[in-house]
A and B are shown apart, each in its own frame.
Chain A
Amino acid sequence: MAGRAQIRTNSSALIAMIADEDTVTGFLLAGVGNVDLRRKTNYLIVASKTTVKAIEDAFREFTTKEDIAIVLISQYVANTIRFLVDSYNKPVPAILEIPSKDHPYDPTHDSVLSRVRYLFSSESAASGRR
């Protein structure tokens, strides 16, 4: 119990987004977008010419910022940085994979659900105690 990562209780945290233009526009309409004093946004619009490095950097930045609680990432974008997403194991912020307009939701690639399936199929930590 000592030394376990403390879960921050935040009274006002942001939702970050790494998705294609349409999805981000929709959520910006809903009021999720935030531009802070240093002109830094909590979203990244991924177009066809966005480099993988830019996506990686944005992902790293969003997951290390203190005031971001959830990171929404399109599934096809997550596929390009699959190794980063899979090796991410902090509880906060939560990484959520969302479908996009032209890429319907594919549960086989979701990092969390694949772990779930592994837990269901083989002897999991929960059921393999004895």
Chain B
Amino acid sequence: MSGQSQRLNVVPTVTMLGVMKARLVGATRGHALLKKKSDALTVKFRAILKMIVSTKESMGEIMRASSFALTEAKYAAGENIKHVVLESVKSASLRVRSRQENIAGVKLPRFEHFTDPGAGDTKADLTGLARGGQQIQACRAAHVKAIEVLVELASLQTSFLTLDEAIKTTNRRVNALENVVKPRLENTISYIRAELDELEREDFFRLKKIQGYKKREIERQLQAAKQFAEEQFSEKVSLKKGISISSAHNLLVAGTEKDEDIIF
């Protein structure tokens, strides 16, 4: 990135200053809210993590129990129980329902199993009618329990993955606001303020200069007026005495000047 935290290119006016300030306030508030969301998501994430680890362990246990039940059933009902079961598959009676849960604004999927009574598994019910029926039932019950745990685990796993994504996105946004957007806005605001100050100083300077000129004009005019008044006064006085000082003055001045027509 060239120039970390540059400023936006704006016209440095007072309106823009207001706009930038409003945006900075918005960015700050958004940043605080996103941080809170990230913290909430992280807490939930950790909780789910712990649950996943413990559920996986219990799953191992349950699977072992169910496969043991299956071995018992096979022993009791004869080896070709597998073929009977395979033949009797029609429509799944154990299904999964998926809903969405909202955790701190993140939609997490949740699975729950349910038995579809419509899909009749009468064929499977007749399995083991000849021998080993009780073992078959026990095996079925064990496997249904296993399915419950597995569905729970699947829910946890998907929530885990979705939360991971969500946390990454939120953290990215928090960092972007904190390291890019806010410094940029702050730089823009200080730039606008600096420009406005500069303009004000320019104005001030111009004003002062003009004031100075005006003052000097006025002084000069005053001086000229005073001199004129004095001359008038002296002229009046000399006229009273019979001569005009100004013409005498002119003669004297003219006398000192060289007249070219005069040789000596």
Residue of A89, A94, A107 contacting most chain B CB atoms (<10 Å): A94
Q: What mask results when residues 93 to 112 of chain A are scored 1 for a CB within 8 Å of chain B, else 0?
A: 01110111100110100101
Query: A69 at the A/B interface (Cβ < 8 Å)?
Result: yes
Query: B7 at the A/B interface (Cβ < 8 Å)?
Result: no
Query: B189 at the A/B interface (Cβ < 8 Å)?
Result: no
Tell me whether A28 and B38 are in contact in the complex, defined as CB-CB below 8 angstroms, given that A112-B157, A116-B52 are known contacts. Answer: no
- B46 CB, nearest partner CB in chain A, Å: 7
Residues on the B chain within 8 Å of A41, using CB: 89
Contacting pair A29 B147 (CB below 8 A): no
Spot the interface stretch: A11-19, A55-63, A79-87: A11-19
Q: What mask results when residues 139 to 180 of chain B are scored 1 for a CB within 8 Å of chain A, else 0?
A: 110111011001101110110111011011001001100000
- B89 CB, nearest partner CB in chain A, Å: 4
The main secondary structure of chain B at its interface with chain A is helix
Spot the interface stretch: B14-22, B91-99, B211-219, B223-231: B91-99
By beta carbon, the residue of chain A nearest B165 is A4
Bound Cα distance from A101 to B59, whole angstroms = 13
Query: B255 at the A/B interface (Cβ < 8 Å)?
Result: no
How many A-B contacts at CB < 8 Å in the complex? 173
Residues on the A chain within 8 Å of B71, using CB: 101
- A125 CB, nearest partner CB in chain B, Å: 5
- A14 CB, nearest partner CB in chain B, Å: 5
Query: B67 at the A/B interface (Cβ < 8 Å)?
Result: yes
Contacting pair A15 B96 (CB below 8 A): yes
Tell me whether A7 and B167 are in contact in the complex, defined as CB-CB below 8 angstroms, given that A32-B92, A34-B92, A116-B52 are known contacts. Answer: no
Residue of A7, A29, A125, A129 contacting most chain B CB atoms (<10 Å): A29
Q: Which listed residue, A22, A29, A89, touches B127 by the CB 8 Å rule?
A: A29
Residues on the B chain within 8 Å of A96, using CB: 150, 153-154, 157
- A78 CB, nearest partner CB in chain B, Å: 14
Bound Cα distance from A28 to B124, whole angstroms = 9
Query: A46 at the A/B interface (Cβ < 8 Å)?
Result: no
Residues on the A chain within 8 Å of B98, using CB: 7-10, 13, 69, 92
Query: B63 at the A/B interface (Cβ < 8 Å)?
Result: yes
Query: B111 at the A/B interface (Cβ < 8 Å)?
Result: yes
Residues on the A chain within 8 Å of B185, using CB: none
Contacting pair B161 A30 (CB below 8 A): no
By beta carbon, the residue of chain B nearest A21 is B82
Tell me whether A33 and B154 are in contact in the complex, defined as CB-CB below 8 angstroms, given that A7-B98, A28-B86, A126-B46 are known contacts. Answer: no
Q: A26-B66, A29-B85, A29-B127 are in contact. List 10 more A-B contacts (CB 8 A).
A: A9-B98, A12-B96, A12-B97, A13-B95, A15-B94, A22-B70, A29-B143, A34-B89, A99-B64, A116-B160
Which 3 pairs, one residue from A and one from B, show the smallest C-beta to C-beta distance? Answer: A34-B92, A30-B143, A31-B93
Interfacial residues, chain B to chain A (CB-CB below 8 A): 38, 41-42, 45-46, 49, 52-53, 56, 59-60, 63-64, 66-67, 69-71, 73, 81-82, 85-86, 88-100, 107-109, 111, 115-116, 119, 121, 124, 127, 136, 139-140, 142-144, 146-147, 150-151, 153-155, 157-158, 160-162, 164-165, 167-168, 171, 174-175
Can you report 21 A-B residue pairs in the complex whose CB atoms are below 8 A from each other?
A: A7-B100, A7-B107, A7-B109, A9-B98, A10-B96, A13-B97, A25-B70, A25-B86, A27-B146, A28-B124, A29-B124, A32-B92, A72-B150, A92-B158, A94-B157, A98-B63, A98-B150, A112-B157, A126-B41, A126-B45, A129-B175
